[in-house]
Amino acid sequence: MMRLIFLFPLWLFAMQISAQTASLPVDERGVHTFLEISELGAAKKETMPANVKHFFKSNAKALKLRSSKGDTAFTGTGKMILTKSTAGIGHPTAEVNYNILVELRENKYRLILTDYIVTPYERDRYANFVPSTTKYRLEDKPGKLNRGEWEGNMKYIITESGKLSAKLKTAMNTTQAISKPEAEKPAAVSTTKW
């Protein structure tokens, strides 16, 4: 009986934890936002803008650099493909477009991913998965029928955003500033010596 009294609250606690779903925080505009502020101990201020540009170039398939304000703020757009896989065989279920902002300060940076727009995929008449014409913001709460799919998409977006943040952290710590090649003077031509 004592064992049962001890296990019952433990079971209730476990059920409560498993019922909670992962979610991105909401900012003051009511938009889901992934925010990470990281400090860099070894990076110099001169190398940080070059590291961010190198990060955007190395992830050119998923990220596009749109503009930069001097050497302190870099904005762009990104895209991730949500997949559903069973037994190693998968197909895309949705495409998520988002805005990315990287701001630099003295030995630290801030990564903001926001304005997630989800475009679900559907099969066309040739059995290929293509983006459908409907798009919705991540903030739009689904109905009862699509709740499970929305929660799955949210979990995938959170994990992919974390992976992107980890990639940026390694890029900021490992890459060096791009050095400009020195202009070489042309060799002097002597007509007297053969």
The Cα–Cα gap between 68 and 56 comes to: 12
* CATH topology assigned to domain 23-174: Alpha-D-Glucose-1,6-Bisphosphate; Chain A, domain 4 (3.30.530)
Chain-centroid distance, C-alpha 125: 32
pTM, entire model: 0.76
Can you tell me the distance from the alpha carbon of 160 to that of 163, in angstroms, rounded to the nearest whole number?
Answer: 5
Whole-angstrom Cα distance, residue 169 to residue 155?
21
Tell me phi and psi for residue 25, to 5 degrees.
-70, 155
Q: Helix (H, G, I), strand (E, B), or coil: what is residue 78?
A: strand
Cα–Cα distance, 113 to 183 (Å, whole number): 40
Q: What tokens does 138 get?
A: 């991540």
- Tokens encoding 124: 């066309």
Tell me the CA end-to-end span of the chain in Å, nearest whole number: 107
| Alpha-helical runs (H) found in the chain | 2-19, 48-58, 147-174
Q: Where are the chain's structural domains?
A: 23-174
Can you tell me the distance from the alpha carbon of 175 to that of 167, in angstroms, rounded to the nearest whole number? 12
The pLDDT profile of the chain, 194 residues, written as one tens digit per residue, is 666 566 556 555 555 554 455 678 888 888 899 999 998 876 677 788 888 999 999 999 999 999 888 888 999 999 999 888 776 678 889 999 999 999 998 889 999 999 999 999 999 999 899 999 989 898 888 888 888 888 888 999 999 999 999 999 998 887 655 556 666 777 777 677 76
